[in-house]
Amino acid sequence: MRRKLAAGNWKMNGTRASLAELAVLAKTHAASEVDILICPPATLLTAACGHAPLMIGAQDCHMATSGAHTGDISAAQIKDAGATAVIVGHSERRVAHEEHSEIVRAKARAAQAEGLTAIVCLGESLAQREAQNTLDIIGGQLAGSIPDNATGENLVVAYEPIWAIGTGLVPDLAQIGEVHDFIRSRLERRFGAGVGRSVRLLYGGSVKPDNAADIFTVPNVDGALVGGASLTAADFSPIITALETV
């Protein structure tokens, strides 16, 4: 009942030359039954649009609608650029920009108020996992980062263990399943079964063409949020195909 979602986060990578990758992806997956979302840097948002069936998202937004916030972009501006989604609370922003869950929740709310889908990221550090605090951390981030008006359309949750991002390390399938089941149960408890079961849950952290198919067999994994392997069609296309065929 949940539509699968393959999402690529280009982070601070890509120039106009990179848009050629989108044309290849759009052609290869023209009749795809899964949603495909690319989140390029803000400089490419507008230029990245127009490659149906690909959807375009931003990587962050400000919580305010407009004003004196040098260097930031608002959800309204992201929508105006042609995007339909925005990542909020990525660990690279939680850590490097000290964005705690209250800020993430305000950003998610701002995105949803503009009709964008907020992709809220959660994830534990290696020290937190080793101290067996993973579910406490995820539960706290989930409760703090997600606005009260969540629906299956305006919210996607991405579980991205910090220690798996860009490292080549991936939790085993049981570990991914444990966290995804936990997130699902918390969403159902807070929002009721209807909404709780309709929110898509993505796994992120070193998803590659050679491990994607296994990860997609895990219950409550509705797709992936892919960093490095989303930068080229050669890498991202097989991941999309794995999701299409799961």
- Residue 69: CB atoms within 10 A of its CB come to 11
CB atoms within 10 A of CB 235: 17
CA distance 201 to 102: 21
Which residues make beta-bridge pairs with 159? 122, 203
Could you confirm whether 51 is annotated as catalytic? no
- The single residue among 26, 49, 58, 207 that binds ligand 13P, judged by CB under 6 A, is 207
Instruction: Quote the CA–CA distance of 100 and 107 in Å, as a whole number.
Output: 11
Q: Is 35 in the site for ligand 13P (CB under 6 A)?
A: no
Asked whether position 160 contacts ligand 13P by CB under 6 A, the answer is yes
Q: Which of 94, 119, 93 is nearest to 37 (CA)?
A: 119
Q: How would you classify the pairing of strands 117-122 and 85-88?
A: parallel
User: Among the candidate windows 43-51, 181-189, 219-227, 238-246, which touches ligand 13P by CB under 6 A?
Assistant: 219-227
Q: Which of 62, 124, 160, 180 is catalytic?
A: 160
Catalytic residue among 62, 90, 99, 180: 90
Closest to ligand 13P by CB, 73 vs 226, is 226
180 is catalytic: no
Indicate the residue among 76 and 116 with the shorter CB distance to ligand 13P: 116
Binding site for ligand 13P (CB under 6 A): 9, 90, 160, 165-166, 204-207, 225-229
Residues with active-site annotation? 90, 160
